[in-house]
Structure 1
Amino acid sequence: MDNSLIPAAAPNGPDAPAAIPHAEPLREVDINLARLQQMGMVTHDGGRTSVAEDFRIIKRPLLRNARAAVSGGVRHGNLIVVTSALPGEGKTYCAINLAMSIAMEKDHTVLLVDADVARPSVLRTLGLAPGLGLMDILLNDDLSLSDVILKTNIPTLSLLPAGRNNKHATELLASQAMSKLLSEIANRYPDRIVIFDSPPLLLTTEAAVLAAQMGQVVMVVESETTTQREVKEALLRLDNCARVDLICNKARAFNGGDYHGYYD
């Protein structure tokens, strides 16, 4: 697996993407599954690849915790944030693959949220245009989830874009409006698993604020690159989180391929 195939986030400044226009949001989008398969990612028709098998292992304890939440176990256990200490560790790659893998389940639907609001990359990685999304809901009382959620050609997978960037993103993510939105997302559909692609923990304040409101946190650690000090510092920012698990990404397996290790 070559995670380098996933494009890097575009910088702010003159080369940043143009502002999202105020327009009727696109309700249905087609994900090019053949393109994702060529990128080495999990797809419904991709067969039993090593990536697909890795994420089958990774998702199982997360789903158990999500089911426990329904019976009073992990609060908001069906809200799962995927983050990392630093950029470039593969968190978006893992968030998309995790969402794709869970979307194959017979008893669950998935909402994939691009919550890296300063440098969104979920839709771009999927080959889709940006649109109204999370930030717009928090800023506009007249917008609802149904106005901005994108249905996809995978019946069990929907997308919530990041929306337009805002300099008060941290405060918006910590607001009562965000808490209300998360409760609505978590409780409206008990079979829905919500995956949030978060900013890196050591780069922004938004990541820790977002993680504190989730039932489960998955931190992606790039093997042989991220230092132990960086991992420990990132974990300190998750002190208020009840459930934190680690994915060791880009590690070399015995057969020479890449490996995604899961640590409980």
Structure 2
Amino acid sequence: MSIIENALRKANQQSVTDDKSQSVVDLKSAAKPVVQDEEVKNDKFVAEPVLSNDNKVLINWNKLISDGFIDNNDTKSQLAEEFRVIKRPLVNNIQGSEVNGISRPNLILICSSLPGEGKTFVSINLALSIANEMDKKVLLIDADVEKPSISKQLGIKQSPGLIEYLENESISFSDILLKTDLANLTVIPAGKRHKYSTELLSSQRMYLFADEVSRRYRDRVVIFDSPPLLVATQAQILAELVGQVVLVIAAEETPQNVVNESVAKLANCDVVMTLLNKTKKELDLYGYGYGYGKYGHS
């Protein structure tokens, strides 16, 4: 019996040892995601930034309406309906990006060939329209750092923006983010004038910013109002960071060869859509005053 008892005792001891070894393995594998979670927690892009009252602004709606922009109190206006159609293919590309293979589809660049074609008008109206979607948040960035106009048009006072963020690593994302009184719309101003603005926009910090804001905030549509393509090199730099581009063309103003030159500069972009602005001709579909099409998107 003593032999049997000794054997049982050894078996029990071995079982305890195996259980302890198994526990160590489980704890190690359980600890692994905890480390990842800590890394994520320390990333300023992970959680929606908590903004102070200093970062909250009121849009000058009266100015917007008087300047011909979308009136949020008149959701059935012709302009509101037009931008519902304009935004739909862009939103669809975001939702179907895994199927169509578009990289960073939630980053949208609004540009034109030349000044005065209406890109800022389109940028703001598109942002307002998408912000009214039930499940979408919009970040409108004034990336026309040479001639910024988003803040002026919205009635926002001068504040640190994209240039300060790119220039100074001690400035965080939340420092330049302005929450508006439209629930799903936030704005990043252009910031101060800088003699090396082109170099800042082409910097690694700008690339990481675009990558993070696209990857971390899947429900956020980021709209960049850029400089004209044929006036400043910054627009082409920004076009390489986004998944979708809307090229605004002034009807009966912009020469065909100028449009062709702009399209050529955007040849490497995943999606390029064109929007004909300022046309006086009425189209059959809801009386739209613009045309809409695609270039180079298979």
- Scaled to the shorter chain, the TM-score interval is 0.7 to 0.9
More helix by share: 2
Instruction: Say whether residues 1:192 and 2:220 are aligned partners.
Output: yes
Which among 96, 100, 111 is matched to residue 83 of structure 1? Answer: 111
Higher RCO, 1 vs 2 (CA within 8 Å, ≥6 residues apart): 1
1:134 counterpart residue number: 162
Q: Which residue of 2 aligns with 1:208?
A: 236
Q: Over residues 86-105 of structure 1, what are the superposed CA-to-partner deviations in whole Å (9 max), with x where a residue is unaligned?
A: 00000000000000000110
User: TM-score with structure 1 length normalisation?
Assistant: 0.86
- Distance in 2 between the 1:110 and 1:55 partners? 15
Larger mean CA deviation between 100-109 and 67-76 belongs to: 67-76
Greater Cα shift, 96-105 or 42-51 = 42-51
Gapped regions of structure 1 (runs ≥ 5): 1-23
**Per-residue deviation, 1:46:** 2.2
Match in the other structure for 2:92 = 64
Identity of aligned residues (%): 44
Question: SS where residue 109 of structure 2 aligns?
Answer: strand
In the alignment, structure 1 residue 117 sits paired with structure 2 residue 115: no
Q: Is 1:153 the counterpart of 2:181 in the alignment?
A: yes
Q: Which of 181, 196, 203 is the aligned partner of 1:168?
A: 196
What displacement does 1:134 show? 0.6
How far residue 34 of structure 1 moved from its aligned partner, in angstroms, is 3.0
Q: Which residue of 2 aligns with 1:262?
A: 292
By how many angstroms is 1:25 displaced?
Answer: 9.8
Residue deviations 1:120-157 (CA, integer Å, cap 9, x gap) = 00111112212101111111001111011000000100
* Deviation of the 1:251 alpha carbon: 0.7
Deviates more, 1:219-228 or 1:63-72: 63-72
Partner of 2:123: 95
Q: Which residue matches 1:73?
A: 101
> What is the CA deviation profile of residues 191-227 of structure 1, one whole-angstrom value per residue up to 9, with x for unaligned ones?
1000000000000010100111110000000000000
SS of aligned partner of 2:96:
helix
Relative to the length of structure 2, the TM-score reads 0.77
Which secondary structure does the structure 1 equivalent of 2:174 belong to? Answer: helix
> Helix, strand or coil: the match of 1:29?
coil
Separation in structure 1 between the aligned mates of residue 241 and residue 220 of structure 2, nearest angstrom: 17
Whole-Å Cα distance in 1 between the matches of residues 124 and 291 of structure 2?
17
Give the CA deviation at 1:260.
2.6
Q: How far off its partner does 1:259 sit?
A: 1.0
Structure with more strand by fraction? 1
Q: CA deviation at 1:241?
A: 1.0
Give, in angstroms, the shift of residue 166 of structure 1.
1.5
**Bigger Rg over Cα:** 2
User: Shift of residue 178 of structure 1?
Assistant: 0.6
Deviation at 1:254, TM superposition (A): 2.8
Classify the secondary structure of the residue corresponding to 2:254.
coil
Which residue matches 1:179? Answer: 207
Stretch moving more, 46-55 or 68-77: 68-77
SS in 2 for 1:226: coil
4+ runs of 1 displaced by more than 4 Å?
A: none
> How much does 1:70 deviate?
5.8
The residue aligned with 1:242 is: 270
Q: What CA distance in whole angstroms lies between the structure 1 residues aligned with 2:193 and 2:90?
A: 30
Task: Give the drift of 1:33.
Answer: 1.8
- From the superposition, tell whether residues 151 and 134 of structure 1 become closer, same or farther in structure 2 (CA, over 3 Å): same
Q: Which residue of 2 aligns with 1:105?
A: 133
Instruction: Give the drift of 1:55.
Output: 0.6
Is this contact kept in 2: 1:36–1:42, CA < 8 A? yes
CA distance in 1, matches of 2:191, 2:68: 27
1:41-52 matches, cutoff 5 A: 41-52=69-80
Q: Using the alignment, how far apart are the partners of 2:65 and 2:128 within structure 1? A: 11
Aligned length: 240
